[in-house]
Chain A
Amino acid sequence: MAIISRRGKERLIKYLCFLVTTVAVIPLLWIIGEVVVNGVSAINLEFLTSLPAPFGESGGGIGNAILGTMIINAMACLFGIPVGILTGMHLSEYDLTSRLGAVVRTVVESLSGVPSIIFGIFAYSLIVLTVRHYTAIAAAFALGLMMIPLVAKATEESMRVVSNDIREAATALGIPKWIRTTKIVLSIAKGGVLTGCLLAFARISGETAPLLFTSLFSFFWPTGIDQPMASLQVLIYNYAMSGFENWILKAWGASLLLVIIVVSINVLVRSLTKPKYKGGA
Chain B
Amino acid sequence: MTPSGTRPVAVITGAASGIGRACGEVMRQAGWRTAGIDLKESGADLPLRADVSDRAAVAAAVNQVTDRFGQIDLLVTAAGYYEEGIDVTDITVQQWDRMLSVILGGTVNCCAAVLPHMLSRGTGAIIAISSELALAGSATDLHYVAAKGAVLGFIKSLAMEVAETAIRVNAVAPGPTDTPLLAEDSLWREPDYLATLPLGRLVKPGEIAAAVYYLATEGSAYCGEVLSPNAGAVI
- Do A and B bind? no
